[in-house]
């Protein structure tokens, strides 16, 4: 990895703040669901926090991101406010989508969060279009499309990488390879030994990193962003990771290799990152504890805000199908 | 703003669509075109609908794409989310099936699912229609699939002036519009539209007044209905003919006003009759006019079969003037 793309101390701390937020938010989500106070389909991202935290640290608010149903970590990393997120996943009127999108369709254009799709593979064709818009406008905004390893086997992946390469679009294809597509293992579903090898077929740079390592992940992100901003086209990043809580929260994980899962959880990237920041003198224990306490307090407030927010009026059922007042 | 068609040299539907896109591109640099072969080095489209546009506006605004329908519609959606007004061509209507996820799950739903934070002002142009012997996968009318999807408008012009006006309205519309072009009718001539002529979406047009039976149609079959007038009149049947122009949302008011007068209705289209647009209109009419109709609402579409290749079979597939006249006459008896 090119060392000139490595994060400095303050950047690492900024990445950790995001990581801590994502981890705490996932833990709280599962807790609130278990308490029965909130009902939603939940696709836990626990274990994958470092990837979007490092990616987002390489972007600005003006850059765009398109994510998928397992994407709340991406959206929080990109800057979606907690109140808007929590009210949305609770189906309330103060949610970012007025409660009409839910956890699989989070949208927050003010921070470049343009689409969350519930369809495997569909983040990529749309990300291309946003990137085409940047190219047409002549601005230097970059678009990130996240997706899982399973999505690299669907047609949209191949159509999108091909078009992005032919058009030299400022887009980053960020694959979060957690080794499972729904319940099926990577090996059983994917012919390529490594997803990143597919980049060669589309004549674009491909880099595989340990997505759980903030330094490696940030360096890859920063290099891809630099390439996109310079008009040199797309990059495929394959970030290796693992999801700790199965496909959808509540599934029994019977399809997962127990030893593999235990090993991954033993290597939880968050406490490892935390300990390293302290060991290397980038932050003190007290400093990190203060950051984490502040995050818990923010989440407390967001959950209370969300659960106190009213449900949408039934008249919302038929609103936003089309622009109002254009054609009845 | 609705302009009025003026008397000028006749133009073809193909020329009218080309002019509408060109005028929209000249008026707004956010209007861009993409699709297979659309730029001039690739002949400006397989039948030349977009000919001249890339030479005039540049290949950055008129972009030929790979044969990759999901990528085409995805690119259109994405660009529309950041302020562009893409006119995407899916060469043939059957090829929209390859991009259904992008059209149905994304283009049609993003406004709603985002609570109105984003919207998708794209036009999807697509051509179809029997007559050229292209068989089962190149000429289906699939408008009912899209009309059944909340969040996308569907239009299908039958003449050059409407083709121009509906295209201008579709490009200006803040939501996705599927714009259906009939391949064999591209070269049909008609009155030229005035530049800037707009046909509002959702507005039908009574193209012929009548008293005995209302005929509702759109796209090429509308011209078959007009060609049936003489035969109907010879049988003493006065038909009122309505060009729906916009299939969804359809102009209930115009159709209801006509049926209130005639008490009879025949809906005719090139798509398979079963579960087609005619079924929706017929159901609405029977709800509104139960007990007042002089005859059951009738439908005339294609048989429940894929489009055949063999010429006699293909000719028997879509409604013709003769069959429309027979259906209307029998309804009025």
In DSSP notation, A229-250 reads: HTT---EEEEEE---TT-SSTT
What's the gap in Å between the CA of A136 and the closest CA on chain B?
7
CA distances in angstroms from A276 to A20, A31, B149, listed in the order given: 14, 28, 53
Q: What confidence category does residue A3 fall into, taking pLDDT thresholds of 50, 70 and 90?
A: low
Of A46, A29, A38, A26, the closest CA to residue A246 belongs to: A46
Assess whether the region B11-190 and the region B205-332 belong to the same CATH fold.
Answer: yes
- pLDDT value at residue A251: 86
Rg (CA), chain B: 19
- pLDDT value at residue A327: 55
pLDDT tens-digit map of A299-327: 999 999 999 999 999 999 999 999 987 65
pLDDT tens-digit map of B145-173: 999 999 999 999 999 999 999 999 999 99
From B60, B76, B201, residue closest to A136, measured CB to CB: B60
Q: How far apart are CA A243 and CA A245, in angstroms?
A: 6
Q: To the nearest whole percent, how much of chain A has pLDDT over 90?
A: 94
Q: Which residue of A85, A104, A120, A129 is the best one to mutate when testing the B interface, meaning the one whose CB has the most B CBs within 10 A?
A: A129
In DSSP notation, B98-118 reads: GGHIIIIIIITTHHHHTTTS-
- pLDDT value at residue B268: 98
What's the gap in Å between the CA of A156 and the closest CA on chain B?
6
Residues 6+ apart with CB under 8 A from B114: A97, A100, A101, A105, A107, A115, A320
Does residue A104 lie within any of the structural domains? Answer: no
Count of domains for chain A: 1
> Minimum mean pLDDT among A50-54, A127-131, A247-251, B112-116: which range?
A247-251
Angle separating helix axes B252-262 and B277-289, nearest 10 degrees: 60
Does residue A283 lie within any of the structural domains? Answer: yes
Q: What is the pTM of this model?
A: 0.96
Token pair, residue B93, equals: 């209507």
From A97, A127, A163, residue closest to B68, measured CB to CB: A163
Domain ranges of chain B: 11-190, 205-332
* Nearest-by-CA chain B residue for A157: B71
- pLDDT value at residue A69: 95
Q: How far apart are CA A253 and CA A183, in angstroms?
A: 8
Q: Which residues of chain B have pLDDT under 50?
A: 1-3, 5
Vertex B321: Cα angle to B318 and B323 (nearest 5): 70
DSSP annotation of B193 reads P
Q: ipTM of the predicted structure?
A: 0.96
Please report residues of B whose CB lies closer than 8 A to that of A125: 70-71, 73-75, 77-78, 102
Does residue A198 lie within any of the structural domains? Answer: yes
Of B154, B134, B151, B123, the closest CA to residue B94 belongs to: B134
DSSP E strand stretches across chain B: 11-12, 31-35, 62-64, 85-92, 123-128, 153-155, 177-182, 189-190, 205-208, 213-217, 239-243, 246-248, 265-272, 298-302
pLDDT tens-digit map of A5-41: 899 999 999 999 999 999 999 999 999 999 999 999 9
Please report residues of A whose CB lies closer than 8 A to that of B250: none
- pLDDT value at residue A326: 66
3-state secondary structure A144-157: EEEEEHHHHHCHHH
Q: How far apart are CA A106 and CA A104, in angstroms?
A: 6
| B83 shares contact with chain A (CB less than 8 Å) | yes
| B77 shares contact with chain A (CB less than 8 Å) | yes
Please report residues of A whose CB lies closer than 8 A to that of B112: 100, 320-321
Cβ contact A80:A96 at 8 Å: yes
Q: How far apart are CA A189 and CA A184, in angstroms?
A: 7
Average pLDDT over all residues of chain A: 96
| B310 shares contact with chain A (CB less than 8 Å) | no
Vertex B127: Cα angle to B126 and B128 (nearest 5): 130
Q: Which residue of A85, A95, A119, A125 is the best one to mutate when testing the B interface, meaning the one whose CB has the most B CBs within 10 A?
A: A125
CB atoms within 10 A of CB B298: 18
pLDDT tens-digit map of A221-238: 999 999 999 999 999 999
Would you call B275 helix, strand, or coil by DSSP?
Answer: coil
- Beta-bridge mates of residue B239: B213
| B97 shares contact with chain A (CB less than 8 Å) | no
CATH number of the domain that A44 lies in?
3.40.50.970
Cβ contact B268:B239 at 8 Å: no
- pLDDT value at residue A328: 45
pLDDT tens-digit map of A236-274: 999 999 999 989 988 878 899 999 999 999 999 999 999
Structural domain boundaries enclosing A210: 3-23+35-64+118-296
Residues 6+ apart with CB under 8 A from B268: B215, B216, B217, B221, B224, B225, B278, B299, B300, B301, B319, B324, B327
Q: Name the CATH topology of B205-332.
A: Rossmann fold (3.40.50)
Interface of B with A in 216-255 (CB under 8 A): 246, 249
Peptide bond into B71 cis (omega under 30): no
CB contact under 8 A, A130 and B79: yes
Does residue A75 lie within any of the structural domains? Answer: no
Does residue A328 lie within any of the structural domains? Answer: no
Helical spans, DSSP H, in B209-320: 219-227, 229-234, 252-262, 277-289, 311-315
Q: Catalytic site residues of B?
A: 138
CB atoms within 10 A of CB A291: 15
| B113 shares contact with chain A (CB less than 8 Å) | yes
Does residue A132 lie within any of the structural domains? Answer: yes
- For B11-190, CATH gives 3.40.50.970
Exposed, middle or buried, A284 (CB in 10 Å: 0-12/13-18/19+)? Answer: exposed
Chains A, B: CB contacts under 8 A, how many? 160
């Amino acid at each position: 990895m090119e060392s000139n793309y490595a994060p400095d101390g303050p950047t690492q701390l900024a990445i950790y703040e995001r990581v801590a937020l994502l981890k705490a938010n996932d833990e709280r989500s599962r807790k609130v669901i278990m308490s029965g106070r909130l009902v939603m389909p939940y696709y836990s991202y626990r274990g994958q926090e470092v990837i979007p935290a490092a990616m987002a640290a390489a972007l600005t608010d003006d850059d765009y991101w398109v994510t998928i149903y397992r994407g709340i970590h991406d959206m929080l990393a990109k800057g979606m406010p907690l109140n808007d997120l929590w009210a949305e996943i609770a189906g309330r009127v103060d949610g970012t989508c007025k409660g009409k999108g839910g956890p699989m369709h989070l949208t927050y254009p003010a921070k470049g969060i343009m689409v969350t799709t519930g369809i495997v593979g569909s983040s990529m064709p749309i990300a291309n279009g946003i990137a085409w818009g940047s190219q047409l406008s002549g601005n230097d905004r970059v678009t990130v499309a996240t997706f899982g390893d399973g999505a690299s086997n669907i047609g949209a992946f191949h159509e999108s990488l091909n078009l992005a390469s032919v058009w030299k679009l400022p887009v980053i294809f960020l694959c979060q390879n957690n080794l499972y597509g729904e319940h099926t293992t990577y090996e059983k579903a994917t012919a390529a030994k490594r997803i990143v090898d597919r980049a060669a077929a589309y004549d674009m740079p491909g880099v595989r990193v340990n997505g759980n390592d903030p330094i490696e992940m940030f360096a890859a992100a920063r290099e891809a962003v630099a390439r996109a901003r310079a008009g040199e086209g797309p990059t495929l990043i394959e970030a290796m990771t693992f999801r700790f809580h199965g496909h959808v929260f509540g599934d029994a994980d019977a399809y997962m290799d127990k030893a593999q899962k235990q090993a991954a959880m033993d290597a939880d990237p968050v406490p490892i990152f935390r300990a390293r920041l302290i060991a290397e003198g980038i932050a003190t224990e007290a400093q990190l504890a203060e950051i984490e306490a502040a995050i818990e307090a923010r989440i407390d407030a967001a959950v209370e805000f969300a659960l106190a927010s009213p449900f949408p009026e039934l008249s919302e059922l038929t609103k936003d199908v089309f622009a109002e007042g254009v054609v009845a | 703003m609705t302009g009025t068609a003026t008397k000028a040299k006749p133009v073809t539907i193909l020329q009218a669509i080309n002019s509408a896109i060109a005028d929209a591109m000249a008026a707004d640099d956010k209007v861009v075109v993409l699709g297979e072969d659309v730029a001039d080095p690739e002949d400006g489209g397989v039948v030349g609908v977009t000919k001249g546009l890339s030479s005039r506006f540049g290949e950055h605004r008129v972009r030929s794409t790979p044969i990759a329908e999901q990528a085409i519609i995805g690119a259109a959606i994405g660009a529309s989310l950041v302020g562009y007004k893409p006119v995407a061509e899916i060469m043939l209507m059957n090829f929209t099936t390859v991009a259904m996820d992008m059209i149905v799950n994304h283009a049609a739903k993003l406004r709603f699912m985002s609570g109105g934070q984003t919207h998708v002002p794209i036009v999807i142009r697509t051509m179809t229609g029997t007559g050229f012997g292209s068989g089962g996968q190149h000429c289906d009318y699939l408008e009912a699939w899209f009309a059944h999807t909340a969040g996308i408008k569907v239009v299908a012009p039958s003449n050059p002036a409407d083709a121009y006006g509906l295209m201008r309205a579709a490009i200006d519309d803040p939501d996705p519009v599927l714009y259906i072009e009939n391949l064999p009718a591209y070269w049909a001539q008609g009155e030229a539209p005035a530049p800037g002529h707009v046909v509002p979406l959702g507005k039908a047009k009574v193209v012929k007044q009548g008293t005995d039976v209302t005929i509702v149609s759109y796209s090429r079959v509308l011209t078959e209905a007009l060609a049936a007038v003489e035969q109907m009149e010879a049988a003493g049947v006065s038909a009122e003919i309505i060009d729906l122009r916009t299939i969804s949302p359809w102009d209930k008011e115009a159709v209801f006003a006509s049926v209130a007068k005639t008490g009879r209705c025949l809906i005719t289209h090139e798509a398979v009759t079963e579960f087609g647009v005619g079924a929706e209109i017929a159901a609405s009419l029977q709800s509104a006019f139960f007990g007042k109709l002089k005859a059951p609402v009738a439908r005339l579409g294609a048989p429940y079969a894929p489009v055949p290749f063999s010429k006699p079979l293909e000719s028997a597939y879509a409604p013709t003037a003769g069959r429309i006249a027979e259906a209307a006459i029998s309804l009025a008896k």
